[in-house]
Structure 1
Amino acid sequence: MFVYEVDEHITLQQLKLQDANQLFQLIDRNRSYLREWLPWLDTNVEPEDSLAFIDHMLQASKDKKGLTAGIFYQDKLVGVAGFNVFDWTNRIGYIGYWIGQDYQGKGIITNVVRALTDYAFTEAQLNRVDIRAAFTNNKSRAIPERLGFKEEGLLRQAEWLYDHYVDHVVYGMLASDWRKN
């Protein structure tokens, strides 16, 4: 099972089936806040949906297709982050993340993404990490920018969010650039 200590307060832990209720409660408390940027909230309406999500993520990890973990801040589940997809042919990991509204502004996601990027280049031996964020999601875009990722382009109408499309900004980091910094 994946467990990665980010710092003295933050740990990434692969979610277990037993975490489904806690995950669902976190989602449910933050539903209106998360809805602005996450397209899957209408399909996660009961604890069984969070259970199915965790089961799917465990299978993806077992198959080495992704690696998703709970973000535990002071031993409390506060969000989810990880590699939504691994492209092993091209050695690329695609990072995604979200956090409960009460935990924003504490540097948690910045530290988590830094740790995941380190993991990508040192443990997983990837060559590239991609992060995509909605063009108008300034808080999410600030994470890769703060960590020195290069803004590489704009994908027009890249994601359907309930009743409209949003453009995505693509950020990339290469292993060689990460090591220089």
Structure 2
Amino acid sequence: MFAISLGDDGAELRPLEPYHAEEYLAHMERGREYIGRWIPLPDVSTDLPSARTFLQSYADRAAADRGRLYGIWVDGTLVGGVLFGSFDTTTGNCEVGCWLEETAVGRGLVTRAVRVILDWAVEERGIHRVEWRVAPGNTASVKLAERLGMVREGVLRESYPLRGVRLDGEVWSVLAPEWRELRAAGR
């Protein structure tokens, strides 16, 4: 197993794998209401078999080089994660996403974790375009896209259903040359 330190606060980024199913389910139970306000992730993992199935789906994506899933741990407790929902080295495009328990909000954990995976995608894997999709009302996620130097490209009207309501989805992106320039400038 590997872990990447996200700073001096005991936070680290690690692969989130099927053998973490119990820990992942406990994390989803703690954060179900907060995490589920904007994304359907908690709805997918409601018991141990469904949590294991979800984690296995990302293990299968990683094996096929089509996506990846990472957990954010603080002092040994899983509090959130980041992912490549799609990952295509042929086209040079990927989509990143995140989630976090409410108790871990405001510490920069997701910002630090996304920077790690963006650096890897751009510099090691040759990804050219990274997308970020967010509901316009999810101000924390919109601000994160802004902090990362992403550009808002537009709104996909009523593009995804969440618990019977169709939500708009904003599309943000950063291109590899822009990301390199931002990183060189210390952002």
Report the TM-score when normalising by structure 2. Answer: 0.90
Whether 2:48 is the aligned partner of 1:47: answer yes
**Structure 1 CA distance for aligned equivalents of residues 133 and 20 of structure 2:** 27
Gaps of 5+ in 2: 183-187
Give CA deviations for 1:16-48 in whole Å, capped at 9, x if unaligned. 322111100110111121221112433321111
Identity %: 29
Alpha-carbon displacement from aligned partner over 1:110-130 (angstroms, at most 9, x marks no partner): 111111111111111111111
Q: Is the 2:44–2:51 Cα contact (8 Å) retained in structure 1?
A: no
Query: 1:129-148 to 2 correspondence within 5 Å?
Result: 129-148=130-149
Query: Which residue in the other structure is 1:11 paired with?
Result: 12
CA distance in 1, matches of 2:47, 2:53: 10
Secondary structure of the 1:45 match is: coil
SS in 2 for 1:30: helix
| Offset of residue 2 of structure 1 | 6.3
Number of the residue aligned with 2:81: 80
Aligned length: 181
- Contact 2:34–2:102 (Cα < 8 Å) also in 1: yes
Give the gaps of 5 or more residues in structure 1. Answer: none
Is 2:127–2:176's contact at 8 Å kept on the other side of the alignment? Answer: yes
List structure 1 runs of 4+ shifted beyond 4 angstroms.
none
CA pair 73-16 structure 1, distance change in 2 beyond 3 A: same
* TM-score normalised per structure 1: 0.93
Q: Residue 107 of structure 2 aligns with which residue?
A: 106
**Cα RMSD after superposing both structures:** 1.5
